[in-house]
């Protein structure tokens, strides 16, 4: 079994989800079941899929869950952009969260590339 806490991907995704929760507290009340919920769930999904993938015994399952984490990280990127364009976050918050989401996606993509190159 792999230790998710030793992965850089886990570290950056964990920081991202905490930031998302912090910055979505100020979203409009009418978005509580809309964009607020969707953005939080997508961010949690990134970390959760990393953790679940690490708990899987096969390399194929591990990669599959990391793939899902990567997809969720890209979803978070879009939702951050949408929230900014809707006026729910400042330019500064948007830049900060976008940078975190992009870093998370890059780290996951690098991990996936390395795993796919290595022999089984």
Mean pLDDT of 10-32: 97
Residue 3 belongs to what H/E stretch? none
CA distance 88 to 71: 23
Mean pLDDT, the chain, rounded, equals 96
Per the structure, the count of domains in the chain is 1
Go through the chain and tell me how many residues it has.
Answer: 120
Which residues lie below 8 Å from residue 28, measured CB to CB, with a gap of 6+?
88
User: What are 33-76's pLDDT values in tens digits?
Assistant: 999 999 999 999 999 999 999 999 999 999 999 999 999 999 99
What range defines the domain where residue 86 resides?
4-117
- Whichever domain contains 25, its CATH number is 1.20.1440.60
| 19-27 contacts, C-beta under 8 A, 24 or more apart | 19/96, 19/97, 19/100, 20/76, 20/97, 23/89, 23/93, 23/97, 24/83, 26/88, 26/89, 27/83, 27/88
Contact call for residues 108 and 20 (beta carbons, < 8 A): no
């Amino acid at each position: 079994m792999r230790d998710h806490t030793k992965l850089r991907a886990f570290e950056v995704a964990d920081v991202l989800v905490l930031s998302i929760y912090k910055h979505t507290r100020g979203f409009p009340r009418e978005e509580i079941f809309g964009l607020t919920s969707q953005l939080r769930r997508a961010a949690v999904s990134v970390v959760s899929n990393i953790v679940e993938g690490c708990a899987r015994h096969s390399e194929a399952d591990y990669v599959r869950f990391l793939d899902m984490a990567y997809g969720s990280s890209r979803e978070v990127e879009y939702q951050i952009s949408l929230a900014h364009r809707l006026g729910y976050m400042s330019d500064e918050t948007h830049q900060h969260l976008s940078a975190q989401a992009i870093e998370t996606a890059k780290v996951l993509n690098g991990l996936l590339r390395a795993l796919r190159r290595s022999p089984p």
